[in-house]
Chain A
Amino acid sequence: KAGVTQTPRYLIKTRGQQVTLSCSPISGHRSVSWYQQTPGQGLQFLFEYFSETQRNKGNFPGRFSGRQFSNSRSEMNVSTLELGDSALYLCASSTSKETQYFGPGTRLLVL
């Protein structure tokens, strides 16, 4: 089975722009979670989607949003980018069980 894929792998944006990241889960996995990884804050939970609905949300501002499509693919969007949004964004997929499998991440640099 193919693993979790994320596109693009690298992005450079400037402050004030918006960005959309994409995640394709493992086939058959209906839950997709997003995490932000930074040197200062470590790995932090952004949100989780299941059956096209946001089921859980972490403590991030409303500039961070996401959605899930009927094929379980997910996108996350960050609007009005700030320098502090520079990070590795990781997507993870899971079945109804608790084990999350991670993709390679998208590295976002905000200038």
Chain B
Amino acid sequence: AQSVTQPDIHITVSEGASLELRCNYSYGATPYLFWYVQSPGQGLQLLLKYFSGDTLVQGIKGFEAEFKRSQSSFNLRKPSVHWSDAAEYFCAVGARLTGGGNKLTFGTGTQLKVEL
């Protein structure tokens, strides 16, 4: 069965500093990988996704992530954090199901705090 580990529960960075959120996955085949962001009381917004091809993917709001198969990782990065980036970030792996369709397995999330 697939699984996702986000080792950092909380991260605090200063505004303008760089950010890296870690994500490790376990999946038997080529994974579909996603990063979502959730603001308090809101749903999940898709930041970026990896299906295949270029291992460095660009997303919205200046985020990027790099897929490293050898390390089973899909870390999220941003060169300069803005105060509005404070939120909870979820990494997810998508598994194709035998009946068709797919389901997402999420990590436990990383809560990002931005200090002004």
Rounded to whole angstroms, the CA-CA distance of A102 and B97 in the bound complex is 20
**Closest A residue, CB atoms, query B96:** A98
Main secondary structure of the interface of B (DSSP, over half): strand
Rounded to whole angstroms, the CA-CA distance of A104 and B44 in the bound complex is 7
What string of 1s and 0s marks CB contacts (under 8 Å) between A52-69 and chain B? 000110100000000000
Question: Any chain A CB within 8 A of the CB of B101?
Answer: yes
- CB-CB under 8 A for A102 and B34, given A43-B90, A48-B103, A55-B100: no
What string of 1s and 0s marks CB contacts (under 8 Å) between A96-107 and chain B? 001111111101
Q: How many residues of A contact B (CB 8 A)?
A: 24
Contacting pair B106 A43 (CB below 8 A)? yes
What string of 1s and 0s marks CB contacts (under 8 Å) between A63-106 and chain B? 00000000000000000000000000010100000111111110
Which of the residues B46, B101, B105 comes within 8 Å of A55, measured between beta carbons?
B101
Contacting pair B101 A48 (CB below 8 A)? yes
Contacting pair A90 B43 (CB below 8 A)? yes
**Closest A residue, CB atoms, query B36:** A102
**Closest A residue, CB atoms, query B44:** A102
Q: Which residues of A contact B43 (CB under 8 A)?
A: 4, 6, 90, 102-105
Count of A-B contacts with CB under 8 A?
60
**Closest B residue, CB atoms, query A31:** B101
Rounded to whole angstroms, the CA-CA distance of A50 and B92 in the bound complex is 21
What string of 1s and 0s marks CB contacts (under 8 Å) between B38-57 and chain A? 00011111100101000000
Closest-CB distance, A70 to chain B (whole angstroms) = 18
- CB-CB under 8 A for A58 and B34, given A102-B43, A102-B44, A102-B45: no
- CB-CB under 8 A for A90 and B44, given A48-B101, A98-B51: yes
Which of the residues A50, A56, A101 comes within 8 Å of B46, measured between beta carbons?
A101
Contacting pair A50 B45 (CB below 8 A)? no
Question: Any chain A CB within 8 A of the CB of B99?
Answer: yes
Closest-CB distance, B47 to chain A (whole angstroms) = 12
User: Which B residues have a C-beta under 8 Å from some C-beta of A?
Assistant: 32, 34, 36, 41-46, 49, 51, 90, 92, 94, 96-97, 99-109
